[in-house]
Structure 1
Amino acid sequence: MTVSEDDRAVVAEQLGRAPRGMRAVAARCPSGHPAVVQTSPRLEDGTPFPTLYYLTCPRLNSFVSRLEGAGLMKEMTDRLAEDEQLALRYRRAHESYLAERDAIEPLGTQVTAGGMPNRVKCLHVHVAHALAVGPGVNPFGDEALELLAQWWPSGECASKVND
């Protein structure tokens, strides 16, 4: 896969550092900037990197951090113990994530990202996953995006390097 130099430069600006292991732009903000990148299962130096989808949009990152700060991850994790159907959908999201990552390069581990499949550890991962693969796969990513719908996607989220 190739990533344009413009996209690579925008992601570097968004992150405040050069992106590592970037394979593709998996989702874009309404303004056209990268919002989610797909990363290689191993970084350039061979270090395993199980996070396949990485949220780069600074505006969306800020909104997701607010949800985390409000305790949403604990509430979501608690619901996993109470709702068998939700737990099953979340396990399927984990299995889908793992299969997609392993199709690129198996890491020999069942660890995916964001606490899947037993807890919600990083809501940013779930939002990135939901944006990359679309609705109906990651229930907590979908839920977080619904909670953020009045704020995102809208507006200019980042400036392009060449603007």
Structure 2
Amino acid sequence: MTTPPFEPVRPADLDVVSGQLQREARGVVGIAARCACGNPTVVATSPRLPDGTPFPTFYYLTHPAATAEMSRLEANQLMPELTALLHDEDVRARYARAHEAYLADRAGFGDVPEIAGVSAGGMPTRVKCLHALAGHALAAGPGVNPLGDLALARSAWSPERCACVSPGAAA
């Protein structure tokens, strides 16, 4: 099985991510997406953290402006709206394929029986977390996660425009 071609993690990336999260970054195995300024936006995280904890969220959205915008969309009830789209057979099939792609990407970094078959964001049957779906959509690129793509399209945040607090501190 092949794994996604992530950029290697540099110490400066870990410093930026730790600052974004306001805690030490854990289990980062790659930078899956970056802001226009170069700062990490999505990290790929080991399916088992260094302390042994299973961690299903392989694509972890770290950019503060992006996470704030996904929280705003969740508060404005976008999740039920997107979940309703799963009544459409085509959307449901594409979302199921996104789930399988997510699992395949994570599998290249270890088998963790405790989270077998569990991806993130509610895939493949519901929408539970826009942060996870947006992180997957940013990492995988347009067309892979249809509901992550829709969340990003509805977002006032864009990876094309830097919204970092300190753009000069790019990794």
What's the TM-score bracket when you normalise by the shorter of the two chains?
A: over 0.9
CA displacement at 1:162 relative to structure 2: 5.6
Q: How far apart in 2 are the matches of 1:129 and 1:36?
A: 8
Report the equivalent of 1:120: 127
- Give a deviation string over 1:78-119, Cα, whole Å, max 9, x none: 221x20110000000001101111122122311111111110
Q: How far apart in 2 are the matches of 1:151 and 1:135?
A: 16
Greater displacement, 150-159 / 90-99: 150-159
Tell me which amino acid in the other structure corresponds to 1:158.
Answer: V
Could you list the runs of 5+ residues in structure 2 that have no partner in the other structure?
A: 1-6
Tell me which amino acid in the other structure corresponds to 2:46.
Answer: S
Tell me the secondary structure at the aligned position of residue 104 of structure 1.
coil
Tell me the secondary structure at the aligned position of residue 41 of structure 1.
coil
* Structure 2 length-normalised TM: 0.88
Q: How far apart in 2 are the matches of 1:34 and 1:158?
A: 13
- Residue identity (%): 53
Could you list the runs of 5+ residues in structure 1 that have no partner in the other structure?
A: none
Q: How far apart in 1 are the matches of 2:70 and 2:137?
A: 13
Taking the TM superposition and a 5 Å limit, the aligned residue runs for 1:16-95 are: 16-80=22-86, 82-95=87-100
Q: How far apart in 2 are the matches of 1:139 and 1:101?
A: 19
Q: How far apart in 2 are the matches of 1:115 and 1:96?
A: 14
Asked if structure 2 preserves the Cα contact closer than 8 Å seen for 1:54 and 1:125, the reply is yes
Match of 2:13 among 7, 11, 35: 7
CA displacement at 1:147 relative to structure 2: 1.4
Q: 1:161 to 1:43 in 2, by over 3 A?
A: farther
Q: How far apart in 1 are the matches of 2:93 and 2:26?
A: 32
Asked if structure 2 preserves the Cα contact closer than 8 Å seen for 1:10 and 1:161, the reply is no
Q: 1:155 to 1:101 in 2, by over 3 A?
A: closer
Structure 2 residue 162 is the aligned partner of structure 1 residue 136: no
